[in-house]
Amino acid sequence: MTRRAGAVLVAVLVASVSASCGGSGDETSAAPTTATPATAAPATAAPATEPPSTPPPTTAPPTAPPTTAPATTVPEPEPEPDPDQVRDAATLQAYVAEAASFTQADTAWLLPDDLDPSAGGAPGMTRYVFRETSAGVVPTLVEGPIGRQVRCQDPDLPCSYRDLVELHASGDPIPDALSITADQLGALVGQLDTLAAFAIRHAEPDAACAAGFVSDAIQTPNMGSHFHRARSFLDGFDPGAPEILIYAPSDGSLVNGPLGYCAGDVWIGPDLSLVGTAFLLPPDVVGIEHPEGFTGDLDNWHSHFNLCRGNARGRDAFVTRAECEAAGGSWFDAIGWMLHAWVAPGFDSQLGVFSMWNPTIAPVADPDAVRAARQVRGSDFPDGARQSLITNFAFERTLTVDVGQSIYFNNVDSVPHTVSAGTPDDPDLASFDSGLLSPGDNWELPTSEAGTFSLFCALHPDMTATLIVD
Ligand SMILES: [Cu+2]
């Protein structure tokens, strides 16, 4: 879901007396897990702000005092309300009322505490992915890190398994972007070699069946079909013993439907090739924070939420629990921390050994095309814009852009927010105002003048930030 406003000029904020709408309420900030079901209305976000050239109302509010000078015997009247202030106050109150009707789906979903969003942004570090369902917008994925990680999903960087092996063997300088020392690289390659040896021992799906792995029967594009071994979940993280082996049809096809199954030690289904491995660590084994994992910071873990697996069509679906179970799917409130590791010969991922998607797996595609298609920022991310996440009930405290550069806000929180000009005590919505941004909504704020500006969220007065345009 993305939404973009029309062009909005950033005007110099006009100093005005304090508006009466400060502290516009925090009614909507209840923890998502305690929300009650109702008619979630993510698509009803307010329209884009009016351009600043819109003239203020010309008629005074009904309560306005007479504009003629009072007689000297009459007590001095209240100052006449500024029409801009009256309008802003009404708008802010409308946002609060509208946001109060927003609820998450009635699902018991689990999100990691203490997510650090500081590294957020394209192409996706810590962030939520939201999906719209018939019951509202729900988070379906969160990606690591908690703590420091390096996303190495650039085909130009040596981050595939084979690249890392060759880099280690060469003794060449390690690109700074990998943020890894030579010793750490050696340790990582050693771990991956151990993993690759495990993978090769299970090159045939029969070997996986014999070892107790169970097929999920679902072939995910650019990923394959996951065979998991439940008893491995209990062991914690062992780089040489992944919980999951990943296979895909050897003919390169993308099967649209149930893939097959293990009958004892024998795979019944299309001819499969091993394409990769994955790790799955349930929170009740490793805790809510994602595991330390592999040496270095290249391993980007993720966790799924509100996921319906394996319905009759052999595809994951984003539906409610009731709809999932009615369709014969398996429902997961939350799946533990997961990590792909592409170490199978012939399926080296140029988006990195730990990438979410592997362009060598059906449907085979150019790495850049796969990466572009999977970026969090969406296809309408404006060229040259600065991306800024709204998450954990906070803006980035200071946003700095060049004159003319726009800011692209992404609401990756679980509740609505707004990006509104001014402060809670002194709003100036005529300068800019996003309207309600539901979870997953994006909003672009162009800039046209140098200056320092304040912005705030109409729903959460603690959410303020400074915008520096220079
Ligand atoms: Cu807010």
Residues 193 and 226 in one domain: yes
pTM higher than 0.75, yes or no?
no
Residues 337 and 453 in one domain: no
pLDDT reported for residue 463: 95
In-domain check, residue 141: yes
| More confident: 337 or 147 | 337
The rounded Å distance from CA 436 to ligand 1 centre is 9
Residues 361 and 448 in one domain: no
The rounded Å distance from CA 418 to ligand 1 centre is 6
Q: What is the pLDDT of residues 180-213, one digit of tens each?
A: 999 999 999 999 999 999 999 999 999 999 999 9
pLDDT reported for residue 133: 65
Q: What is the pLDDT of residues 381-395, one digit of tens each?
A: 577 888 787 876 889
The rounded Å distance from CA 443 to ligand 1 centre is 14
Q: What is the pLDDT of residues 404-451, one digit of tens each?
A: 999 988 777 667 899 999 999 999 999 999 998 876 677 899 999 999
Residues 336 and 211 in one domain: yes
The rounded Å distance from CA 357 to ligand 1 centre is 33
Say which CATH number the domain at 442 has. Answer: 2.60.40.420
Mean pLDDT value across residues 36-63:
36
pLDDT reported for residue 439: 67
The rounded Å distance from CA 438 to ligand 1 centre is 10
The rounded Å distance from CA 466 to ligand 1 centre is 15
Residues 329 and 390 in one domain: no
Label residue 230 by pLDDT band (50, 70, 90). Answer: confident
Which among 350, 374, 398 is the end of a domain?
Answer: 374
Domain range for 179:
123-374
In-domain check, residue 2: no
**Domain count along the chain:** 2
pLDDT tops 80 at residue 271: yes
pLDDT reported for residue 398: 95
pLDDT tops 60 at residue 39: no
Mean pLDDT value across residues 50-68:
40
Which among 374, 400, 425 is the end of a domain?
Answer: 374
The rounded Å distance from CA 435 to ligand 1 centre is 11
Which among 374, 398, 420 is the end of a domain?
Answer: 374
Mean pLDDT value across residues 329-347:
87
Residues 152 and 272 in one domain: yes
pLDDT reported for residue 161: 98
The rounded Å distance from CA 304 to ligand 1 centre is 25
Residues 310 and 351 in one domain: yes
The rounded Å distance from CA 100 to ligand 1 centre is 12
In-domain check, residue 421: yes
The rounded Å distance from CA 419 to ligand 1 centre is 8
In-domain check, residue 3: no
What is the torsional sign of CA 375, 381, 384, 388? negative
In-domain check, residue 281: yes
Please tell me the distance from the alpha carbon of residue 444 to that of residue 265, in angstroms, as a whole number: 55
In-domain check, residue 20: no
pLDDT reported for residue 328: 85
